[in-house]
A and B are shown apart, each in its own frame.
Chain A
Amino acid sequence: METLKNKARELLAAKTVQVVIGYGRGSGGSSRAMFIRDPRQADDLVFDGACLQNLAVYLMKPEVRKLGKAALVAIPSTLRTILQLAAENQVGDHDLLALAVNAAGAVVPLATLNAIETHVAALDNNLSAAEKEELQKYESMGLDQRRQFWEEQFSRCLKCYACRAACPLCYCSRCTVECNQPQWIPVPAHDLGNLEWNIMRAMHLAGRCVNCGDCSRACPVGIPIYLLNQKLIGEVFANFNFRSGMAAKTDNVMSTFKPNDLEDFIR
């Protein structure tokens, strides 16, 4: 913890960065994002198991971008997000400094996309054992059972779009759901509107989602949206041998055309 605080102080004092985006103490023992511009505030930084939010979401927020170059306290999914954002031309090399914290608690500053790639490659980026078990349980359901499962889950969706707002890869300045000429997705939070919204969201993240889990943690009514994302991560890997968030320069699986595509309909 002290090393992280010291690093933040040092970076701000030397004006290497203008802001350190890290975790501070939140309500009820939780953690929350904090934006440190004064080295003296670095004392309030915390880092523990409660620090789960993917802070890369703030890289796309205008009010944060205008603060200047940022150092970002980065858990593994945050690092994968940075690489994916780079692959989508949203983050450039040297745009930010990632502060990874390794298993021993030491701070590893990663100043280039290349350094982030090397660091990420050495991590275990697979689903956890518990995640795998839950996904297998989901996949063992029959089609009818799965439909019933999602109908029940989506019946509770409020369309508050917390999943979208919390997702660092949902950065479109105007989302498809907000286009009404033509209207692609019904706006009301009724059965059809909720089904189409959640499926569209999952499909738009196929081959892009890095499984940070923030969409599901953000959902006020507790819909396990991560199951859709994790299912698609598996499908993309099985079909295209591709894993998002591993490389800063790569084509996006679902939006890249190749003349030698296996499918006839696309050629």
Chain B
Amino acid sequence: METENKSIRRDALEKLFSQWLAAGKRILAPKKIADKTDFAWIRTLDEVNLDQVQTVQSPKTAIFPRVEELFSFKSSDGLVQIRDRDAAALGEIVVFGLRPCDAAAFAALKAIFTWDCPDRLFSARLEKMTVIGVACARADEYCFCTSLGGDPGATAGSDILLTDMENGQFLAEIVSERGRQAVQTASGLFAPAATREKESHLAKVEPGFNAKAIAPVLASLFDDAAFWEEQSRRCVGCGACAYVCPTCACFDIQDEGGSSGKRLRCWDSCGFQLFTLHTSGHNPRPLQSQRWRQRLMHKFAYMPERQQVLGCVGCGRCSRACPVDMNILEHLRAIAEAKP
């Protein structure tokens, strides 16, 4: 559909939230927690913090929770009964205040979870999610969306994108049918837009490297062990980068309980030594440098090849969260500049 431009007053958001909550929707939005801002389930506008450049974690938990029950089981008299998690019982969710990079990241998650065998729970959650993005007024040195085709005011992935016009009003770009429905339901809160000029209210993010140059160089670097060791020597092998990433989709399966219990899907990370450890004891990626290579290869070579989508949106979270300052933008620049 063609984008419609409307406007909404900042103080009207409170009413919008009340309407969503009254309709049984849950709201996931950036909230200040101690000295950090992170996505949390909120009930009032007061709880929401839109001043931060970026949250610690991405909003992927809305459709890919860090722990999720897939089914429950019960065994008695030699028979095992399995009860699938009821996807129809999953509630509707509004993700509010996420940045354009995060909104764009849902496409990468979708590409993975619906690739060969559509994931039932993921697809159900995606169907029940409304995405209300807020354009970036500020960026920091870790942001690099513009190197990967995004920008601080991009609408892709949002149902409605709000831009703070700095006069108590948000420009509301209604991008999808779901966005239009959300506006219709909130009768009276949205008004015609006085202007749709938003550029002057957006952050400037200079492109840092040529993304197209990355894949062929990566392919040529695969066997260059020294290159990857040099890049990753200070990496300590935790999963912080993967867990805060809006597109990292790897998971682990855990069964809990004895003769009756649950099967759970939990986040996992290719940075962990155990991730590729075989039952035989063999580990195809025994070194951290090989695991770092895998992280970049998966995002910038394998996903574009297999799913026609980049596995990175340039949100910069992994760099901000890294305990040892592995700055992904710096590493990508070095790769883009390496000779294939």
Contacts and interface: CB of A to CB of B under 8 A. Distances in A.
A220 B289 contact: no
Nearest to B34: A222
B67 A63 contact: no
Interface string B213-256: 00000000000000001001110111110111000000010101
A62 B256 CA distance: 34
Contacts of B140: 28
A217 B234 contact: no
A32 interface: yes
Contact of A156 (B33, B240, B269, B274): B33
Interface of B: 33-36, 38, 56-57, 66-67, 140-142, 229, 232-234, 236-240, 242-244, 252, 254, 256, 264, 266-267, 269, 272, 274, 287-289, 319, 321, 323-325, 327, 330
Contacts of B240: 158, 160, 162, 218, 220
A161 B266 CA distance: 14
Contacts of A220: 56-57, 240, 243-244, 321
Classify chain A's interface size: 35 or more
Chain A's interface: helix, strand, loop or mixed, by majority?
mixed
Nearest to A31: B325
Given A188-B264, A220-B244, A57 B236 contact: yes
A111 interface: no
A26 B319 CA distance: 11
21 contacts: A26-B327, A27-B330, A32-B234, A33-B234, A63-B289, A156-B38, A159-B267, A160-B243, A162-B238, A162-B239, A162-B321, A164-B238, A187-B266, A188-B67, A193-B67, A218-B240, A220-B56, A220-B240, A221-B36, A222-B33, A222-B35
Interface of A: 26-28, 30-35, 53, 57-58, 61-64, 156, 158-162, 164-166, 178, 186-190, 193, 214, 217-218, 220-222
A22 to B, nearest CB: 11
Contacts of A32: 234, 324-325
B325 A26 contact: yes
A161 B325 contact: no
Contacts of B142: 27
Contacts of A28: 140-141
A51 to B, nearest CB: 12
A158 B245 CA distance: 12
B66 A187 contact: no
Given A62-B287, A221-B57, 19 more contacts: A27-B325, A27-B330, A28-B140, A28-B141, A31-B325, A32-B234, A32-B324, A33-B233, A34-B234, A63-B289, A158-B66, A159-B266, A159-B267, A178-B274, A188-B67, A189-B66, A220-B56, A221-B33, A222-B34
